[in-house]
Structure 1
Amino acid sequence: MPDLSDQFYLRLEPFTDFATVGDVERYETVPADWVILAADIVRSRDAIEAGRYKEVNLIGAAVISAVLNQVGRENVPFVFGGDGAMLLVPPSAVEAGKIALAGVQRLAAEETGLSLRTAAIPLTEIRSNGADVCLRKYELSPGNYLAMVIGGGLELADRILKDEDLCKPFLIDPAMAVEPDLEGLSCRWEPLPSERGKVLSLILRPSEGGGESLRSVAADIEHIVGFDPLGETDSANHVTRDRLRFRFPPRGLGLEIRMLSRTGNRFAYGAKAVFQSLATIWGFVTGLSIGPFRPARYLQEICRHTDHRKLDDSLRLVLDVSTEQLNALTDYLDEAFRARRLNYGIHVSDSALMTCFMTDIGASQHVHFIDGANGGLSAAASDFKQRKAATS
């Protein structure tokens, strides 16, 4: 008989209306024997300032792809954070997940020189410190899901991971490392330019009131920018067909080849990647299918299969706004912060980055991680924490 704890996420009923993401009563508590697998790039700000945020994003996405390829994607919720990621795994997947993270840690050091800290933090530790992890499963399309998380547990796990002393009991042994399976990971798209002027990476959290306050804040933002940030329109989604750009050779192709060819022939993988890139361009130009790749359908799916909006204790958005909208929105957020109605963090850039994880393109199984360029959500998180510290 299947273990009900192991199948918790698999059995979770998905929802499709993102506007209901703040309905806290619909979240379900994660089983007590689950574990948070957490990864974070140490001193990521230095890499960002050196112009290496694409590499930072790719390592963050590699964490997710390595674990899902190792333990399966159906029952493992994940959250992409820009400079790292968090996944929740059942007891049966803990050891395999730790091995995968140790592998990405070694790969990051050897291929990029970035230091990735990884930890396995039991939910019992989170709950003993007064926080919790509760989930909903947002359906992008059949078989493609994003985890929405409340309870303060991931925020606490992040604090533990970033504290050298607190994280020591939970650090993953680097000696566990084997070469990670990163099949499906890619970074071939060009940065997605702003059409209105600025790409805003925004993290916000109402001080109280749960879902009602979140809806109220979203309504205020809609009044300022002219579109519902939780809505399904192109205005709310930075990933649209008009913004998608593909060039040859893709700028991230060299790093992708280095990372994904470590267990095989690098030349052979490189030749395959080059052929795929050329075939992609040919497919987009002609509209003709190539094997399972159907260009028109894929472009439509990309625009739906993104994490440009998500809730993991805080609402995280990547929005395209004008300078006037940005100024008005910043004024609103400042006023709301001073009134202690919410806390927020922002980062502004001229474009967004997209990193892809494709498990079966023919079956429409792919997700795309969206982040503001040159710091994005990582920089917004630092801004959020600094503002929070100033009031505590």
Structure 2
Amino acid sequence: MNDHFYRDLISFNDFSGIGEFEGYQPVPDDWVVLAADIVRSRDAIAQGRYKDVNLVGAAVISAVLNKLGREEIPFVFGGDGAIVLVPKSQQDAGREALAGVAMLAREDAGLDLRVAAIPVTDLRARGTDIKLRKFELSPGNYLAMAIGNGIELAERILKDEEAVKAYTVPSDQAEFPMLDGLSCRWEPIPSLNGKMLALIVRPGQEGLLPRIVTGMTEAIGFNPVSEAAANRIVTSKNLRFRFPPSSLDTEVQLKGRISGRLAYRLRALLECAAFVWGYVTKLRVGPFRPKPYLAEISRNTDHRKLDDSLRMVLDLSESQIAGLKHYLETACRSGDLVYGLHESPSALMTCFVTDLAQSQHIHFVDGADGGFAAAAADLQTRLRPVARAGNRAADPAGPPFLPDAEPDASAAARP
């Protein structure tokens, strides 16, 4: 019964419903958080390798879902890592997938992917929780929304070299992971309004999310959690595809070991040629139907999510960004929130397609040149002085989104 917890969750399809906290359901006690994070991702960003970083982060999700099934497993893409939750009965298979991606990242991409398996009961013992809702992007395509600060605590444990030792998943004897459907063939997606803004907002206490959304709406002139067209940052106007894709080398390097990289490259080039022909002619090529697929991409992006913090990629003008910064800084000083952001001229998109004929595909979006990883680092610069001031947004054991937390739970929560 517990194994089908996520599959059986009732979904919602209006993103503004993220603030309806009564709809979130606690993850079963016997579930496990599989967490992955690229160590020193800022070094890779400085080397211009953020597309590689994104591909490895998405590979974590691809590997686990290909092994365990996409309907059963909730996940969150974080840019330089990912979180996946699995039932205890699937823990070993999930750990194998995680280890495989860590091995692949190390040997074929030169990136150190730290991976861990943290029981939900351990996170609850430290005063946090993980409660989920299932957001429907389009029929059959879902994103997990999480509250309770358990995800935040898991990420903090993962980034702490000492705290993570008890949960580390070894990868020295790992098998090659299944990465079917994972690709990164679209060109960077340019901003249509000025800049792509990768934004992380952590509310300071429970119940503040609606007020924060109202403040953001007033600052930028539209509601960032509504289903308005302004919130679709990937459209036919800024989708770019070239032949061959500029990022094909990254994909070949990561995925081409089993079949041989030359064979993989040739097959990928044939797929790209068929895609371009269908894209230009608007004619169907096998399961690829250009017109509906391009419309589906616009809906099936993960550029808005809630995983204890509100994470968004927004396409804004310079004046909108200035207004948003002013609001966020004011709200941060008042203790309503802590935030981090990163501006770039474009966004990156990594695709995970499981069944093109059935429109089963999700697209992971991040800001270019650092995106969410840079925004998280920016948030940390504000988090330290806020923590010293006693703001609850700095405490993963208390609010936001943990109604039952006691005021003194923070000490127990810190790994």
Give the shorter-chain TM-score range. Answer: over 0.9
Aligned-residue sequence identity (percent) comes to 56
1:115 is matched with 112
Structure-1 separation of matches of 2:149 and 2:127: 9
Specify which of 310, 317, 323 is matched with residue 322 of structure 1.
Answer: 317
Report 1:283-362 matches (<5 A): 283-362=278-357
What is the SS of the residue equivalent to 2:122?
A: helix
Specify which of 9, 23, 37 is matched with residue 6 of structure 2.
Answer: 9
Structure-2 separation of matches of 1:216 and 1:363: 39
Could you tell me whether the CA contact under 8 Å between 1:99 and 1:176 is conserved in 2?
A: no
Is the counterpart of residue 253 in structure 1 residue 245 in structure 2? no
2:81 is matched with 84
2:70 is matched with 73
Could you tell me whether the CA contact under 8 Å between 2:103 and 2:172 is conserved in 1?
A: no
1:217 CA drift (Å): 1.7
Is the counterpart of residue 279 in structure 1 residue 274 in structure 2? yes
Q: More displaced, 195-204 or 252-261?
A: 252-261
Report 1:191-206 matches (<5 A): 191-206=188-203
1:233 CA drift (Å): 2.3
Report 1:1-392 matches (<5 A): 4-210=1-207, 213-392=208-387
1:276 CA drift (Å): 0.9
Could you tell me whether the CA contact under 8 Å between 2:30 and 2:87 is conserved in 1?
A: yes
Could you tell me whether the CA contact under 8 Å between 2:64 and 2:97 is conserved in 1?
A: yes
TM-score by length of 1: 0.97
1:176 CA drift (Å): 4.4
TM-score by length of 2: 0.92
* Structure 1 unaligned regions, length at least 5: none
Structure-1 separation of matches of 2:381 and 2:173: 35
Structure-2 separation of matches of 1:153 and 1:209: 15
- Residue by residue over 1:148-190, the C-alpha shift from the partner in whole angstroms, topping out at 9 and shown as x without a partner, is 0000001100111011110001000214410011010000001
Residue type of the alignment partner of 2:233: H
Could you tell me whether the CA contact under 8 Å between 1:234 and 1:240 is conserved in 2?
A: no
Structure-1 separation of matches of 2:202 and 2:59: 28
Residue type of the alignment partner of 2:63: A
RMSD of aligned Cα (Å): 1.0
What is the SS of the residue equivalent to 1:149?
A: strand
1:252 CA drift (Å): 1.2
Could you tell me whether the CA contact under 8 Å between 1:348 and 1:376 is conserved in 2?
A: yes
Structure-1 separation of matches of 2:103 and 2:205: 41
What is the SS of the residue equivalent to 1:296?
A: helix
- Residue by residue over 1:89-118, the C-alpha shift from the partner in whole angstroms, topping out at 9 and shown as x without a partner, is 001111011111111111101111110000
What is the SS of the residue equivalent to 1:307?
A: coil
Change (3 A) 1:279 1:16: same
